[in-house]
């Protein structure tokens, strides 16, 4: 099945995706709470060649499950990461500030949530933290760790932007995993196990950085 008609729908809306993503980037760059808690961020619009491959890959999975395939009629609802922003922060204590700031924008009607934020973690302690913030906590077999928001431009809009939030430590693991496992997952059991070991090392680094900044706050009397 050709993906041309579905890709054409996205292509006709690319400018809208960019306009919406720039609005979120403006929040990140100008909101004082986000400026204080965001170390850095990246932005991209999905390459249409990569989108073509993703549609084909996802449709194979959907067909096996007997579910509705991605088409020109539903692509804007089925593929929510046409535009994407990745926010990196230094330690886990900053996540709550980032989350609550985005929550305020949602509550004020400046942006809208397409779905409940998802938190991917293998660590039960951080799972409790994410759950307390109202996130849908999930675990991937790969030990992937990140918080995902999907925002939409207005209440009835299909134009979305995926915002991923993770620590700098988690970003290192994510980049390595992406190189090894995307778009085709490695068949090597040894590599999969090594990635899980590395995820635990990264988790220890995330905990250590969090602990350091907790001590800094305690010594400062905060």
pLDDT bracket for residue 182 (50, 70, 90)? confident
Q: In Å, what is the CA distance from 46 to each residue of 14, 49, 212? A: 10, 8, 37
Give the count of beta carbons closer than 10 Å to the beta carbon of residue 139: 15
Residue ranges in 31-94 assigned as alpha helix (H): 32-37, 48-65, 75-78
pLDDT tens digits for range 130-177: 999 999 999 988 889 999 999 999 999 999 999 999 999 999 999 999
- The pLDDT, as a whole number, for residue 222 is 64
If you search the block for the tokens 């760059």, which residue do you land on? 29
- Helix (H) or strand (E) holding 200, with range, is helix 189-219
CA distance 68 to 200: 37
- The pLDDT, as a whole number, for residue 1 is 55
Q: Which region among 128-142, 153-167, 177-191, 195-209 has the lowest average model confidence (pLDDT)? A: 177-191
Task: Answer whether 10's CB lies under 8 Å from 76's CB.
Answer: yes
Give the count of beta carbons closer than 10 Å to the beta carbon of residue 156: 7
If you search the block for the tokens 């090594």, which residue do you land on? 194
Average pLDDT on 16-38 reads 97
Mean pLDDT of the chain: 93
If you search the block for the tokens 């929510």, which residue do you land on? 80
State what percent of residues in the chain have pLDDT above 90.
Answer: 80
Task: Answer whether 118's CB lies under 8 Å from 30's CB.
Answer: no
3-state secondary structure of 14: helix
Average pLDDT on 125-130 reads 91
- The pLDDT, as a whole number, for residue 181 is 85
pLDDT bracket for residue 218 (50, 70, 90)? confident
CA distance 164 to 41: 10
pLDDT bracket for residue 197 (50, 70, 90)? very high
pLDDT bracket for residue 8 (50, 70, 90)? very high
pLDDT bracket for residue 185 (50, 70, 90)? confident
- The pLDDT, as a whole number, for residue 41 is 97
pTM higher than 0.85 for the full model? yes
**Can you point out the beta strands (E) in 50-177?**
83-89, 112-113, 118-120, 136-138, 146-152, 160-167
């Amino acid at each position: 099945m050709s993906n041309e008609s579905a890709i054409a729908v996205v292509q006709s809306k690319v400018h809208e995706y960019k306009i919406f993503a720039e609005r979120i980037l403006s929040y990140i760059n100008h909101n004082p709470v986000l400026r204080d808690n965001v170390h850095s961020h990246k932005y991209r619009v999905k390459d249409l060649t990569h989108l073509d491959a993703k549609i084909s890959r996802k449709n194979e999975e959907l067909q096996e499950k007997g579910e509705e395939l991605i088409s020109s009629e539903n692509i804007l609802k089925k593929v929510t990461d046409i535009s994407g922003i990745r926010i990196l922060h230094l330690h886990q204590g900053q996540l709550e500030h980032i989350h609550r700031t985005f929550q305020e924008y949602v509550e004020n009607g400046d942006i809208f949530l397409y779905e409940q934020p998802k938190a991917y973690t293998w660590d039960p302690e951080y799972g409790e933290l994410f759950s307390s913030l109202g996130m849908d906590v999930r675990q991937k077999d790969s030990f992937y760790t990140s918080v995902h928001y999907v925002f939409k431009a207005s209440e009835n809009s299909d134009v979305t932007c995926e915002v991923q939030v993770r620590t700098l430590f988690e970003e290192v693991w994510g980049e390595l995993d992406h190189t090894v496992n995307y778009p085709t997952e490695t068949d090597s059991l040894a590599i999969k196990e090594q990635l899980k070991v590395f995820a635990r090392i990264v988790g220890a680094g995330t905990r250590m950085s969090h602990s350091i900044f907790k001590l800094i706050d305690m010594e400062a009397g905060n």
